[in-house]
Amino acid sequence: MKTYTIQVLKRPWYEWVLWAVWFLVEIFVLQNAIASGAELEPRAASIFWMTFVVLLLGGGIVWFVRRARLAK
Amino acid sequence: MNDTGKAKRALSRREFFKMAGIGTGAAVAASSLQPAKVANAAAAPYTDPAGRPARPWWVKTVDQPTTEIDWAKMKRYSERYIEEEDSGTVRGDGFAGYLGAEEAERLIKQGNDKMKQRLVDNVDGYTLKDHAMSAGQSATSVARSFLGPQKAKTPEERGVAKWSGTPAEGARILRTALRHMGASTIGFVELDENTRKLIYSMDPDGKILEFTDDPIASETETHRYIPNSCKYVIVYTVQMSEEAMKRSPTMTASQTTTGAYSRGAQIAAGTQEFLRTLGYQGLSEASTNALGIAPAFGVLAGLGEMSRLNRMITPEFGPMVRVFKMLTDLPVEPDKPINAGIMDFCRSCKKCAEACPSGALSFESEPYWETKGGWNNAGHKAWFEDATKCRTYWVSEAGTNCGICFGVCPFSKKDKAWIHEWVKAGTSAAPFLASFFRSMDDAFGYGVQKSGEDWWNLDQPEYGVDSMSVVKG
């Protein structure tokens, strides 16, 4: 009879805290991006949008890399 | 298979609740990211007995203003140029007085010629429709008067006793009334032997302002008599459109100044009649910038702080306001000055001085006691400006008033993006970050002059201002 061991690797609590911070920063940057457009400040809006996208992509990449590492 | 499936479902549920929990927590935390917003503040009753609006935590009430004052050195200032003393305002006769009649005439002609050519050439911000807008704003004004329209029935005429209440109640009803007539922020100062020096010795029209024991205010051909009982100063701001002012120096920009002055005059007349109906006197500016030194009263009333512009900057709208004042014998609770880190910020920012095309604004890091000329009033530490340079640029180059310094000021922001509130809070709490904030202001493209033609394509709120920004706490 074969036995299988299932190993469940949980992300540590501080990682969730870091993700929460990332999420808050994203909200903050997104609000500023949208509001800067409404304020007719195109350069500020562009910088905030760029920051938002970079953070989003960065977060996505880190998430998948960490997930792949945990899955090994 | 079933076990595996259950395990997968259980795991999935845990993940779901975990994510939901984090998401909810983050959303709740995010809602507090903007430090100063209060939901439905416009509909909420006053929390302060005198009706003072709640302000952000970084606007601190202080006993002494951030501008150093030496009351012993201060004298009452004439808002009309006095040739014998070579002092008084640079406006009106003062321009020729300080520069010489011939030079003034030459500069005025130069400016008029340029204005005409711009109109002919259809220059952005100086087109016929821009001139039309300016003319329209001028026409919205009402006649200014020291004593007021005096048309409203007094309590005596109505057969009732005059209104009475505590000074706090007086302040509260005045705040409500003025706000509903169009004022943005309102504060009060009680005149004493020092603050009386901020009432002009002479109005722009040459009439002498004199205090009297007579309880009723009066006006003659040469004098305006202020009863000693009229010792309460009502100071109020009227917003200008930041969007228009960022077109400065053009007719597009100057029309918002004209419009704010017009609204200020309407509010003054309305308040005078309001006070008369209550059984009190309201003594207002008989002409533009008359009666007393507006920024000084604004600072003492806690509406803002002095700045490198040598004008008042408010925490709410930056310099995008005109300041008005009125005297009354209705007892009101006076306000205290504030410290929101504005003057500290000005020490290192200097953006306005760099942008000023006439070089009128100071680059000194610290404010100073020495005045630049007879147009400044000694007795306080300020970044005194060279008003003749400023005025010369208005008259000979811009052809209209210039508000470039207002437009580029880092405090001139709308309040939609949360970042502005954070920066203002940071400016107040961490003055050492001022240089960094100034650099970021440049990097983000704030204060760049905008097109006058584009202004006509904007879907703007009434008066081009956001009246809701004053009711956030």
Handedness of CA B55, B58, B61, B67 (dihedral sign): negative
Whether residues A44 and B417 touch (CB distance < 8 A) is answered with: yes
Residues in chain B with CB shorter than 8 Å from the CB of A36 are 416-417
Q: Strand, coil or helix: what is B305?
A: strand
Please name which of B402, B395, B408 lies closest in space to residue B445, comparing C-alpha atoms: B408
Q: How far is A31 from chain B (nearest CA, A)?
A: 7
pLDDT at B23: 62
Asked if B251 contacts B133 with a C-beta cutoff of 8 angstroms, the reply is yes
pLDDT at B25: 63
Chain B, nearest residue to A46 by Cα: B444
Handedness of CA B173, B191, B85, B358 (dihedral sign): negative
Residues in chain A with CB shorter than 8 Å from the CB of B450 are 40
CB contact A58 to B (< 8 Å):
no
Residues in chain B with CB shorter than 8 Å from the CB of A41 are 417, 444-446
Whether residues A28 and B30 touch (CB distance < 8 A) is answered with: yes
Beta strands in B231-284 (DSSP E): 232-239, 282-283
HSE (side-chain half, CA atoms, 13 Å) at B286: 22
Q: How far is residue A36 from each of residues A31, B72, B318, measured CA to CA in Å?
A: 8, 48, 18
State the pTM of this model: 0.90
pLDDT at B467: 80
| φ/ψ of residue B326, rounded to 5 | -155, 150
Q: How far is residue A14 from each of residues A17, A21, B272, measured CA to CA in Å?
A: 5, 10, 63
CB contact A71 to B (< 8 Å):
no
Whether residues A23 and B22 touch (CB distance < 8 A) is answered with: yes
pLDDT at B26: 59
Strand partners, B333: none
Q: Please give the share of chain A, as a percent, with pLDDT higher than 90.
A: 75
Of B11, B29, B243, the CB nearest to A40: B243
Chain A, nearest residue to B420 by Cα: A32
Q: How far is B311 from chain A (nearest CA, A)?
A: 25
What's the rounded mean pLDDT across residues A36-63?
A: 97
Of A19, A35, A47, the CB nearest to B416: A35
A32, A47, A63, best to mutate vs chain B, most B CBs in 10 Å: A32
ipTM score assigned to the predicted complex: 0.89
Q: Which helix (DSSP H) or strand (DSSP E) does residue B223 occupy?
A: strand B223-227
Q: How far is residue B339 from each of residues A52, B67, B308, measured CA to CA in Å?
A: 34, 10, 15
Beta strands in B286-428 (DSSP E): 305-306, 312-313, 321-328, 338-339
Whether residues B22 and A41 touch (CB distance < 8 A) is answered with: no
Whether residues B446 and A27 touch (CB distance < 8 A) is answered with: no
Tally C-beta pairs within 8 A across A and B.
57
Q: How far is B394 from chain A (nearest CA, A)?
A: 27
Asked if B60 contacts B338 with a C-beta cutoff of 8 angstroms, the reply is yes
Residues in chain B with CB shorter than 8 Å from the CB of A43 are 444-445, 448
Q: Which residues of chain B have pLDDT under 70?
A: 1-43, 471-473
Strand partners, A40: none
pLDDT at B24: 64
| φ/ψ of residue B282, rounded to 5 | -130, 115
Residues in chain A with CB shorter than 8 Å from the CB of B446 are 41, 44
B421, B423, B444, best to mutate vs chain A, most A CBs in 10 Å: B444
Give the DSSP per-residue string, B88-133. Answer: S-SSTHHHHHHH-HHHHHHHHHHHHHHHHHHHHHT-TT-SHHHHHH
Residues in chain A with CB shorter than 8 Å from the CB of B33 are 24, 27-28, 31
pLDDT at B141: 84
Of A24, A32, A47, the CB nearest to B30: A24
Write the pLDDT tens digit of every residue in B213-232: 999 999 999 999 999 999 99
CB contact A30 to B (< 8 Å):
no
Whether residues B418 and A31 touch (CB distance < 8 A) is answered with: yes
Write the pLDDT tens digit of every residue in B141-178: 899 999 999 999 999 999 999 999 999 999 999 999 99
CA B93, distance to chain mean position in Å, is: 25
Whether residues B444 and A38 touch (CB distance < 8 A) is answered with: no
HSE (side-chain half, CA atoms, 13 Å) at B222: 0
CB contact A19 to B (< 8 Å):
yes
Q: How far is A69 from chain B (nearest CA, A)?
A: 18
Cα B135 to Cα B130: distance, rounded to the nearest angstrom: 9
CB atoms within 10 A of CB B422: 18
CB contact A31 to B (< 8 Å):
yes
Handedness of CA A49, A50, A51, A56 (dihedral sign): positive
Residues in chain B with CB shorter than 8 Å from the CB of A6 are 7
Give every CB contact of residue B148 below 8 A, 6+ residues apart in sequence. Answer: B268, B269, B272, B273, B275, B276, B282, B283, B284
B3, B246, B414, B416, best to mutate vs chain A, most A CBs in 10 Å: B416
Chain A, nearest residue to B15 by Cα: A10
